[in-house]
Amino acid sequence: ELRTAEQQKVEIMRAIARDARLIVMDEPTAALTRAESRRLLEIIRQLAAAGTSVLLISHYLDEVLAVCDTVTVMRNGRIVRTAPAANETEQSLVNAMVGRDVSLEYPPKTPPPPDAPTVLEVRGLSRRGAIEDVSLSIRAGEIVGLAGLVGSGRTEVARAIFGADPVEGGEILLDGKPVRVRGPRGASRLGIALLPESRKEQGLVMMRSVRENVTLSTLPEFAAAGLVSRRRERARTQELGRDLAIRASSVDAPVSTLSGGNQQKVLFAKWLVRPPRVLIADEPTRGVDVGAKRQIHELIRELAARGMAVLLISSELEEVLGLSHRVLVMRRGRIAASYSSEEATMERVMAAAFATERAEVTT
């Protein structure tokens, strides 16, 4: 029943309550807000000061450098560097992780053409206890970021548009025409795709192969006379694997054996077998390494440049600001503010999320 972020908090509290001599924390802040992450880092420091050993596994390099005494970097299953944290920088860790120089900057923004048509429009979408009177629009080639605190309704909007949760009011329009989204399968037929916030529980079948996951939602395209062609499945999966730089021993390898970044790329590939008109990406870089994160950022930009309408949801505000052409801020199930790329700053978005600033809403 609990959302991903709440489940994460319960896991952390359970580990601390056991009064263990060694606590291993694997991406403990992945689903937490900035304030919650800061509080957890303080707790980690207190645990260490009291004599508890903590092994922190994280892709958030600023947190690693802020709290750790020693940093170990792994690449392709091997340790490539161990050094005092005080001697490292975010850039040095990035370079060690990927084995080459990688920019920490976001790829340049290419605005959609001035005459780009509106692909997706949502009017007055409501669901009791979750979202209320949500309206937004996305043009072809536009990335619209949806920001807000955990529990503000961002994921609920994504699931409502995709038909994963029922709504009690409002309408959805594609290319200016009202449509009825009859569940996720109906959304897929309409050209709406969702990358859910938890790939392991909601996006992938972990014990199935890369090939099976990629073709799962488009099996009829690989079938003739009722029989699925494994050869055609493999060929298409291999093609998408090359395009997205998916690293796997084989397309028939279980997706559970892949790294987080490669699992996320498989999720993208699943929807690119038949490219959608609208892509809803909920936490698209959660739990992936820096190199994979950069590749996913570039992929999202590329898909938008091809004319796809993208709704981006992320708890990393820098990611929302770095990729989006417009930013909408949610608070208590409603859209509280809207900013252009030029207007959107971290201070403004956070102020709107915490209700310390009133902003004009133009969706």
pTM, entire model: 0.76
- Cα separations (Å) of 295 from 101, 210, 222? 14, 19, 28
Examine the pLDDT at 76 and tell me if it is beyond 70: no
Read off the pLDDT of each residue in 120-135 and give the average, rounded to a whole number. 95
For residue 312, what are its two tokens?
């981006």
Contacts of 232 (CB under 8 A, 6+ apart): 222
Q: What is the pLDDT of residue 220?
A: 87
- In whole angstroms, give the CA distance from residue 329 to residue 154: 9
Examine the pLDDT at 358 and tell me if it is beyond 50: no
pLDDT tens digits for 39-73?
Answer: 889 989 998 999 999 999 987 888 999 999 999 99
pLDDT tens digits for 8-26?
Answer: 778 878 888 888 889 998 8
Lowest mean pLDDT among 17-21, 212-216, 271-275, 317-321: 17-21
Q: What domains, with CATH codes, occur in the chain?
A: 4-98 (3.40.50.300), 118-191+276-353 (3.40.50.300)
Examine the pLDDT at 77 and tell me if it is beyond 80: no
Q: What is the pLDDT of residue 102?
A: 56
- In whole angstroms, give the CA distance from residue 290 to residue 60: 9
pLDDT tens digits for 325-344?
Answer: 999 999 889 999 999 999 99
Chain mean position to CA 174: 23
Examine the pLDDT at 297 and tell me if it is beyond 80: yes
Amino acid identity of residue 56, one-letter, is L
Q: What is the pLDDT of residue 151?
A: 81
Average pLDDT of the chain is 89
Check residues 151 and 234 and name the one with the higher pLDDT.
234
Q: What is the pLDDT of residue 362?
A: 54
Task: Specify the DSSP class assigned to residue 140.
Answer: T
Examine the pLDDT at 303 and tell me if it is beyond 90: yes
Examine the pLDDT at 191 and tell me if it is beyond 60: yes
The strand pairing partners of 26, in sequence order, are 57
Lowest mean pLDDT among 46-55, 69-78, 84-93, 115-124: 69-78
Read off the pLDDT of each residue in 214-222 and give the average, rounded to a whole number. 90
pLDDT tens digits for 154-179?
Answer: 999 999 999 999 999 999 999 999 99
Q: Where are the beta strands (DSSP E) in 109-245?
A: 118-127, 131-139, 143-148, 169-174, 177-179, 192-195, 223-224, 227-228
Count of other CB atoms within 10 angstroms of residue 93: 19
